[in-house]
Chains A and B, each alone.
Chain A
């Protein structure tokens, strides 16, 4: 089965830039979406189609992709950005695949 791999955790100091990566064998040919998940809340779409931000998502969130690795970048990270982040892509065999998630700690 197709898998998306994320590092379990990333730490960043407030005001610094956080980079969260997602890798998969077919990502070079796919769109990637990113979700923020805070405890007790439902997931929030922060990036779709690799680089697009939904309305209401702060400009400090950006997405990029190079070959088989997608990156979610949070510039000027704030305490409120502490959350789990999941990447997601499409696969012809299983239409929706999520990465295992990355816990972002802001300290």
Chain B
């Protein structure tokens, strides 16, 4: 059973950098894709981006390019950095395993394992 666990500070000051890490256990990080998803209070789910174990990334183009993801396969961890945070970045941040399925021109991604989520509050 794959398990994911987010870690990082719960409180970040405006304009600072948020750093979160997700530790994967019960399965190999060297397969599939690994994503970060957030949910602001009272709002819906927002996909931030994914990283492949090879290090390739894909970010949500709707978000400003303040996000950076990295992976450390030796530690079975992947990480998220968000620069210049504002109150709008206050959210529960989830890491998740992103499965790619399909063939030809018919593809999909879905998320089968999720971390418990970590609340990040941006406030001075």
User: Which A residues have a C-beta under 8 Å from some C-beta of B?
Assistant: 1, 29-31, 33, 35, 37, 42-45, 48-49, 54, 86, 88-90, 93-101
Contacts and interface: CB of A to CB of B under 8 A. Distances in A.
28 contacts: A1-B62, A29-B106, A30-B106, A31-B106, A31-B107, A33-B110, A42-B114, A42-B116, A43-B45, A43-B94, A43-B114, A48-B99, A48-B101, A48-B108, A49-B101, A54-B112, A86-B45, A88-B110, A88-B111, A90-B107, A90-B108, A95-B50, A96-B35, A96-B47, A96-B98, A98-B44, A100-B44, A101-B44
Nearest to B62: A1
A95 B58 contact: yes
- Contact-residue size bin, chain B (C-beta under 8 Å from the other chain): 20 to 34
Interface of A is mostly: loop
A18 to B, nearest CB: 19
A31 B114 contact: no
Contact of A94 (B35, B62, B94): B62
Contacts of A97: 47
B45 A37 contact: yes
Interface of B is mostly: strand
A30 B108 CA distance: 7
Contact of A35 (B45, B60, B107, B117): B45
Interface of B: 35, 37, 39, 44-47, 50, 58, 60-62, 94, 96, 98-99, 101-102, 106-112, 114-117
Contacts of A99: 44
B111 to A, nearest CB: 6
Given A1-B62, A31-B102, A96 B44 contact: no
